[in-house]
Amino acid sequence: MPGTLSFDDLKTQVTSGVIDTVLVCFVDMQGRLMGKRFHAVNFVETSYKETHCCNYLLATDLEMATPDGYASTSWEKGYGDYVMKPDLGTIRPVPWLEGTAMVLCDILDHHTHEEVPHAPRTILKTQVARLKELGFDAMMATELEFFLFEKSFEEIRKSGFRDMAPISGYNEDYHIFQTTKEEGVMRPIRNHLFAAGLPIENSKGEAETGQEELNIRYADALDCADHHTIAKHAIKEIAWQNGHAATFLPKWHHDRVGSSSHVHQSLWVDGQPAFYDKDADLGMSDLMKNYMAGVIAYAPDYTFFLAPYVNSYKRFAKGTFAPTKTVWSIDNRTAGFRLCGDGTKGIRVECRIGGSDLNPYLAQAAMLAAGIKGIEDKMELAPPTTGDVYEDAKAADIPQTLRSATEKLRYSAFLRAAMGDVVVDHYTRCAEWEQEEFDRVVTDWEIARGFERA
């Protein structure tokens, strides 16, 4: 299988003229790739060591606005530089762009050269390191759900985001004939990403018109987040190259099912699944029970990292396969957490709360932190919930609004202990700003509802 390029491989391909451009990227708060396009010769001669970027890039919103209230940077502080330090172990070809390779960077303080604590990749690496101190490796996989549309990004934008038609005309969940019609987009997505070194498993139609799912083989937590981010970026670029738009907005229309990003997780020791105990009920080891107890108990605290925008919460509706309760069940898709592969070495827990808009580094870090807490405190796992969890009045609710999730984040003693005040305060401000921006806008719904009748 094609894999990432070594630095020597890259130099060879640059010398031969195969590669002429290197995308030097880092992951921002929203989970997007930001960075620069380097002439490949300059990169392999000099810039492989480091380059710089403005520090506002880790204190902005989707619109690239510069909100006030961040301790890390501001107009008063002058918006200085961060160091972008290429992780040379992440070099890979970008087959859908001619003559192009990519490398991911860690973000360092310009003066101390220490990793910036609120950078998403750093946040995940910190929790992975904590887990390793306990003797475990985290293996994770994410599912990427998204919608494809008939028209391009430019056409949809110029229309004011009205009259948007999905690429298909009916529910295409597992539908081979319907997805055959979309192979002009989905086949290059699978093949280009595989050639870029991502262990692509499959794509399928999802449970709505024009809705797709891409599945990537499980990997260690950091690789999983890297794969997710690169795949999401590639899906948008490849859709654009083919004249279509792809959206990861969780709920693009109130009458349509939303898009999720389920996160599968398990812990391993020396290459063996530590969640599996062949002699235990369902094959669940005591470690797994402790881990799951923590992940479930602290889900309200970290919901913001699974659902970071106002729109994210429009997805949580009963009867849509999106969960509303923070309980677990055995292979039951109505619960917030689903036990998969019970009784086998593939046993794992799937978190179904996260939307397609999540930042995988932040989401995985938060769940690992909660699982670590469960292990350290030997938390007891409640019995599984059965039946239709949507109708279970005793089950705890997922925060139903961004405002509620923000307050859970702000006052989470667990997250402050696991991630630090600097990180929690930074992302609390991020959540606040998103709500402030929404609150000041007059929506089309308000005008249509009240223009004449109010």
Asked whether the beta carbons of 183 and 203 are under 8 A apart, the reply is no
Q: What is the pLDDT of residue 3?
A: 58
Q: Are residues 215 and 306 in the same domain?
A: yes
Strands (E), 55-115: 81-86, 92-93, 100-109
Q: What is the pLDDT of residue 260?
A: 95
Least confident window among 70-79, 141-150, 301-310? 70-79
In a domain, 138, yes or no: yes
Please report which confidence band the pLDDT of residue 375 belongs to, taking 50, 70 and 90 as the band edges: very high
In a domain, 177, yes or no: yes
Closest CA to 338 of 351, 320, 326: 351
Q: Are residues 427 and 345 in the same domain?
A: yes
Residue 252 CA to residue 417 CA, distance in Å, equals: 36
CA distances from 147 to 256, 259, 317 (A): 11, 8, 18
State what percent of residues in the chain have pLDDT above 90: 89
Question: How much of the chain is helix, strand and coil, in % rounded to 5?
Answer: 40, 20, 40
Residue that finishes a domain, picked among 87, 116, 145: 116
Residues 282-305 have a mean pLDDT of 97
SS3 361: helix
Please name the residues in contact with 445: beta carbons below 8 A apart, sequence gap of 6 or more.
none
Q: Is the pLDDT of residue 90 over 90?
A: yes
Q: Is the pLDDT of residue 319 over 80?
A: no
Residue 382 CA to residue 340 CA, distance in Å, equals: 17
Residues 193-220 have a mean pLDDT of 96
Asked whether the beta carbons of 24 and 47 are under 8 A apart, the reply is yes
Residue 62 CA to residue 334 CA, distance in Å, equals: 31
Mean pLDDT score of the chain, rounded to an integer? 95
Please report which confidence band the pLDDT of residue 396 belongs to, taking 50, 70 and 90 as the band edges: confident
Q: What is the pLDDT of residue 74?
A: 80
Asked whether the beta carbons of 166 and 210 are under 8 A apart, the reply is yes
188-200 per-position pLDDT tens digit? 999 999 999 999 9
Q: What is the pLDDT of residue 7?
A: 96
Residue that finishes a domain, picked among 116, 137, 160: 116
Residues 352-369 have a mean pLDDT of 97
Please spell the DSSP secondary structure of 171-221, one letter per residue.
Answer: --TT-HHHHHTTHHHHHHHHHHHHHTT--EEEEEE-SSTTEEEEEE--EEH
Residues 217-228 have a mean pLDDT of 97
Measured torsion, CA atoms of residues 128, 117, 355, 186, in degrees rounded to the nearest 10? -80
Q: Are residues 94 and 239 in the same domain?
A: no
Residues 234-259 have a mean pLDDT of 96
Domain count, the chain: 2
Q: For residue 159, give the CATH number of its domain.
A: 3.30.590.10
Q: Are residues 299 and 434 in the same domain?
A: yes
Residues 149-172 have a mean pLDDT of 93
Q: Are residues 412 and 367 in the same domain?
A: yes
Instruction: State pTM to two decimals.
Output: 0.96
Q: Is the pLDDT of residue 333 over 90?
A: no
Q: Are residues 104 and 201 in the same domain?
A: no
Least confident window among 70-74, 112-116, 219-223? 70-74
Q: Which amino acid is at 382?
A: A
Q: For residue 76, give the CATH number of its domain.
A: 3.10.20.70
Angle between helices 402-410 and 421-439 (to 10 degrees): 160
Residue that finishes a domain, picked among 59, 87, 116: 116
Residues 27-49 have a mean pLDDT of 97
Q: What is the pLDDT of residue 1?
A: 41
Q: What is the pLDDT of residue 392?
A: 80
Residue 186 CA to residue 160 CA, distance in Å, equals: 26
Residue 405 CA to residue 311 CA, distance in Å, equals: 13
User: Could you tell me how many helices (H) and strands (E) the chain has, helices first?
Assistant: 14, 16
Q: Which of 20-34, 168-182, 329-343, 382-396 has the highest mean pLDDT?
A: 20-34
Q: Is the pLDDT of residue 2 over 60?
A: no
Query: 50 phi and psi, to 5 degrees?
Result: -175, 160
Q: Are residues 161 and 270 in the same domain?
A: yes
Q: Are residues 227 and 374 in the same domain?
A: yes
Residue 286 CA to residue 379 CA, distance in Å, equals: 10
Q: Are residues 204 and 229 in the same domain?
A: yes
Closest CA to 345 of 284, 293, 289: 284
Q: What is the pLDDT of residue 322?
A: 83
Residue 387 CA to residue 390 CA, distance in Å, equals: 9
Asked whether the beta carbons of 315 and 258 are under 8 A apart, the reply is yes
Residue 13 CA to residue 84 CA, distance in Å, equals: 23
Query: Domain residues for 25?
Result: 7-116
Residues 351-362 have a mean pLDDT of 97
Closest CA to 266 of 370, 369, 136, 365: 136
In a domain, 2, yes or no: no
Q: What is the pLDDT of residue 423?
A: 98
Measured torsion, CA atoms of residues 149, 152, 157, 163, in degrees rounded to the nearest 10? -40
For tokens 């020791």, name the residue.
269
